[in-house]
Structure 1
């Protein structure tokens, strides 16, 4: 069955190790779009952190899409929300209290891409997160926000060794009520329990009338495994982790070695 929809992870997949899009990747994506294939970025980033990349490769307008925040919100490229699964205010407060009690840097991402932390001594990784996603950073405690304020995801952040220490404890504390994912060595993220990249991809493609067999997913990290399990064709980048490669149908070259272009040439 012909591929009609391609879901592309961003960091480590669309972007090379310098955070840039290779010329071969731009050419491959634009060629696929010109042949009527939909190409959507499927990322842990909020939409503000994806828009400039989308424009760079031609993913624009009401008939192209982005799967953001690990699947919490899917949108058209011109901003219309297609699906949305948010973390409740009650659960957000529990996450905040846990971070404060255990001295773990914590922030949330709002549905409109704001980065919000109650930590007055802001961790460097929170600043980095805001910068990389072109997002505004706010210092607000939960009581300074509306009582019905829901968030797209909560993020415990910091040094890799700090996250290594706390990841299992965070999973034990919040795993029953949320989807917990280690999307990066510096981040442990908590989302609505229905949320993962695979479910976001499923919700969107069902709305578009596209079958799983017509979907190809390309990624490199553990948070990409759920979309690999959904898509008819799963491709791991050569720079991906060994665990993720086990879930792929095919392993391409790395993000510095024309991995996207080589994949498109093989399957399209």
Structure 2
């Protein structure tokens, strides 16, 4: 029955899920709010846990809402040697060469609908094309945070219409008014149904990506590349944009600070990201594989 606990994790799916940990061959993790602390730092407990996981023969990679370039320092720090997913699964990137293996661009009509909706709601919009980040308001609340997160500055433009809007990978709406962003998220999901995907990657960020760009699709492709069946894949996350990968992986571990709605979609619950919930989840897999 649900409510069982082991390895510092609690189960929402019964005790059998702990046995599944011993069979994990591939781990895919979200970055912000999961692998990283809230201040965007990569902690030593996470680094040590990933090293032990890799030493145990388990493949490891990441799937993030970030652009590929904004994930490079994480990939290098953790010795990731297989493809990783950026833009919520919209692109797959090869480490080292940083070659783009695949990408899913937003249809032009989805781009226009999203930008118009964000503007009407008074929500700051950013446009990402390849690894470039474009913005019209450099004084927006979350520009300094995004600069620190991705590791480079956005490019100011007078208007987005001057860009190649047929080549957009992701649109982000950002605001400190999280209640407003929740309403905008719901409205955009309805407007873009069947045409695009809208989901928050943070409480203050709303990501719009291709209908084919989601972390579930990314995990499916990463598992295929690693030749690992989905039932032997474990994923870790904390937000609504992580739910698609929760739905297809054999084991899903959610961070403790996640909303109740997201927590219900995962099979195991860890502590918060700031309480090393990621490291606890990884160490559970290592321990289970060792017969602990």
Partner of 2:27: 6
Partner of 1:86: 105
Displacement of 1:102 after TM fit?
4.4
Partner of 1:38: 59
CA distance in 2, matches of 1:77, 1:175: 33
Pair 1:130 & 2:147 matched: yes
CA distance in 1, matches of 2:65, 2:237: 12
Structure 1 residues 29 and 153: CA distance shift in structure 2, 3 A: same
Pair 1:17 & 2:3 matched: no
Pair 1:55 & 2:73 matched: no
Q: Contact between 2:197 and 2:211, CA under 8 Å: does it hold in 1?
A: yes
The within-5 A match list for 1:48-197 is 48-59=69-80, 63-78=81-96, 79-112=98-131, 114-117=132-135, 119-120=136-137, 122-140=139-157, 141-146=159-164, 149-159=166-176, 160-197=178-215
TM-score between the two structures when normalised by the length of structure 2:
0.81
Q: Contact between 2:114 and 2:188, CA under 8 Å: does it hold in 1?
A: no
The count of corresponding residues between Structure 1 and Structure 2 is 262
Unmatched runs of 5 consecutive residues or more in structure 1:
none
Q: Contact between 1:171 and 1:180, CA under 8 Å: does it hold in 2?
A: yes
Displacement of 1:136 after TM fit?
3.3
Partner of 1:240: 258
CA distance in 2, matches of 1:240, 1:14: 14
Unmatched runs of 5 consecutive residues or more in structure 2:
1-21, 287-292
Give the secondary-structure state (helix, strand or coil) at the position aligned to 2:142. helix
Partner of 1:224: 242
CA RMSD of aligned residues (A): 2.2
TM-score between the two structures when normalised by the length of structure 1:
0.88
CA distance in 1, matches of 2:229, 2:241: 22
Give the secondary-structure state (helix, strand or coil) at the position aligned to 2:247. helix
Where do 4+ consecutive residues of structure 1 move more than 6 Å?
none
Partner of 2:285: 267
Structure 1 residues 185 and 261: CA distance shift in structure 2, 3 A: closer
